Amino acid sequence: MLDFDCSKVILKDSIGSTYTLPIRNSSSLFVSLLIKSSHPDVFSVCDQSILTKCLSSQEGFDVVIKTIGYPMSPYGNYFVTVDTGTEINTIPVEFKTDYERCKSPELPSSAIIECQICYASFDNKARVPRVIKECGHTLCQRCCQHLMIPNKNQFIICPVDRTSTAVYGNINNLPKNFALIQLINESQVYKTKSTGPYFCSTHKDQRLFFVCTESDCSSEQRSMCSECMVEGGPHEGHSYTSSKKMF
């Protein structure tokens, strides 16, 4: 009998990302394992598509799963199989993707540059990051304005910790989070320098892995994702080629 420390594997969709899947033989018998990747062109197991491993009783082994190609969909039918000869264990694999994610490890993730209330990305217009002075939390300007509407006493109660902050005049008098604004500006620069395919503007979590080669295609957007090609999509039934050679 095998023990697994997780019910599924979650990988980032960037090339070289890894996830460690610990396996332990909890039986009193010696077991021989055959570990396979369902999509060896997308992810490997210990740098191989198929791995054999023998485990004695109570022995453990870490399977390092690595992203080596771009998945067509983050929630496709991806899995790792661990076959003992008498039983087959299937562990699903999901790819974490975020079209707002910064491409540099030195920059913040999208979760950091989003308002904690509406989850919209901060910007320099309607969603300027404003600091709630009494508690230090940062909310977007639009949410701050909405929080002031129900009361006439010119104060905001922070939804995060219920701290009350007086607002003199209007929302523009709340201080801007300039450090966050600088990070947002830097992230916008780095997002234009992505080393992989861009994300589809229609299907936000899908990368543009393909280019339509249909001669009579009427779509203005020639780059397309896997969702664009299915029934009802703008490139349904069209001929195409891979866009990987472009990056």
Q: What is the dihedral of CA 223, 224, 229, 231, to 10 degrees?
A: -110
Residue 218 structure tokens:
């009427």
Neighbours of 144 (CB within 10 A): 26
* Beta carbons of 103 and 44 less than 8 angstroms apart: no
Share of the chain above pLDDT 70, in %: 82
Residue 211 predicted with pLDDT over 70: yes
Q: Which pLDDT does position 106 carry in this prediction?
A: 42
Half-sphere exposure of 71 (CA within 13 A, CB side): 26
User: CATH 2.60.40.10 in the chain, residues?
Assistant: 2-96
Question: Is the model's pLDDT at 210 over the cut of 90?
Answer: no
Percent of the chain with pLDDT over 90: 14
pLDDT of amino acid 103: 40
Q: Please write the tens of the pLDDT for every residue from 90-129.
A: 898 888 764 434 344 444 444 457 777 777 778 888 889 9
The pTM of this model reads: 0.42
Compute the mean pLDDT over every residue in the chain, rounded to the nearest whole number.
Answer: 78
Name the CATH superfamily housing domain 2-96: Immunoglobulins (2.60.40.10)
Q: Which of 26, 160, 7 is CA-nearest to residue 89?
A: 7
3-state secondary structure the chain: CEEECCCCEEEECCCCCEEEEEEEECCCCCEEEEEEECCCCCEEECCECEEEEEECCCCEEEEEEEECCCCCCCCCCEEEEEECCCCEEEEEEEEECCCCCCCCCCCCCCCCCECCCCCCECCCCCCCEEECCCCCCEEEHHHHHHHHCCCCCCEEECCCCCCEEECCCCHHHCCECHHHHHHHHHHHHHHCCCCCCCECCCCCCCECCEEECCCCCCCCCCEECHHHHCCCCCCCCCCEEECHHHC
What is the tens place of the pLDDT at every residue in 134-154?
Answer: 888 888 888 888 887 655 667
- Please answer whether residues 14 and 196 qualify as being in contact, where contact means their C-beta atoms are separated by less than 8 angstroms: yes
Joined together, the tokens standing for residue 155 give 């104060």
Residue 169 class from Cβ within 10 Å (0-12 exposed, 13-18 middle, 19+ buried)?
A: exposed
